[in-house]
Structure 1
Amino acid sequence: MIKILIADDEKDIRDIVTWYLSREGFEVFAAADGHAAMDIETSHLPDLLILDVMMPGLSGWEIAKTVQRNVPIIFLTALSEENDKINGFKLGADDYISKPFSPRELVARVHAILRRNGKLALSGDVLQFPPLLLEPGTQKVIVNEKVIELSTKEFDFLYFLVRHPHTIFTRENLMVNLWGYDFEGDERVVDSTIKRIRKKIGVAGDFIKTVRGTGYKFEVDKP
């Protein structure tokens, strides 16, 4: 799983960025100050850093100077003057986003940077777990060479599970990642969605395992 660090002293920003990136399938680490960010950087070696410039402890500038490895960096900051941006790029930043910002735009830029760095597959790449095949770019699902019609939500649900094989998700996890924090339904919507997907994809539905008392996971049985 691709790991991303978001370092910002504003909790609301950390929470919203974490939520948006987590639902894209990234493992997100959050830090409220520069020292905590450096601890995460050295212990978890994230694949991308999102750094606020003005933070307690160490600034985003100082972190960028301190990091010893080649890792993509996005500066996320209220400093929007041209000289600030130039300084950020001189320090090796891959992108510079001024606050206030669009979380969806941030996610798009994260995807673009990770694709350029070879960390992220193109959206059109095929995921294969015979007899199941998924084409994310076209939202096509094929089982035993037969195209299966799924709704957009059903495809998103299946794609999310397939991207995280062997990972156990609680019903609450799945609700947050697939419907969002503000969804007012209950956990039964997860069970009903799983039931529909299993029915539609037939034999491939066996890959979606029920974890008794917890939730679900996608797991391909070993031959």
Structure 2
Amino acid sequence: MADVPLDLTLQMAPVSQTPGERIYVHGSIYDSFVSKFVELTKKYKLGDPTLPDTNLGPVVSIASAERIRKQVADAINAGAKALIPEDLFPAAKVGTAFVAPQVLVDVNHSMDVMMEETFGPVVGIQKVSSDEEAISLMNDSPYGLTASIWTNAAAHPESEAAFLAIMDKLQTGTVFLNRCDALDPALAWTGVKDSGRGVSLSKFGYDQLTRAKSVHMKIVTA
């Protein structure tokens, strides 16, 4: 949302399953957001995850790394612009599972990077002009695991009402406000669409692990 503090939104580091695969930013703060996001991304240290100064390790396999690189290359060939020079990350070599982080702009939903799961340190950032446009784009996906909305509800109470209205329209199993990639054992972890139908965590998770049994009894009395 347009009132969000930029420093808060920079917590969206795209390095695990549930943080932002794609980001939609209101046009009024788009340029500032992208600039700060790129500045932060360039500070990542890609390398051996056992070393204390490393904060970005390899992806799950070499095959996954090749798929991620192809997504980025295909997006660039289709008109996207890459903002992170790969030579900042010398560990990112073809034939390894190390992939340089990348921020893409001038993206759209014709690109796999905006429509398919990446599972890597790559994100596309798309400009929007309204909450309604953002909702439409967020729902334009075959997946529906999580969504994250960032706003300054503390300073603008009306933003909390706006969040609740947006939340109700999103086609995802979980919606975060001003955070992402968090679990609470008391809340159901579930997805919609191609993100799955099962449930884990919460009391609803037990339903996936148990089987109901009905017993009918008729007791004859004298």
TM-score range, shorter chain: 0.3 to 0.5
Bigger relative CO (Cα 8 Å, ≥ 6 apart): 2
Q: TM-score, normalised by structure 2?
A: 0.32
Q: TM-score, normalised by structure 1?
A: 0.32
Q: Which has the larger radius of gyration?
A: 2
* Greater fraction strand: 1
* Greater fraction helix: 1
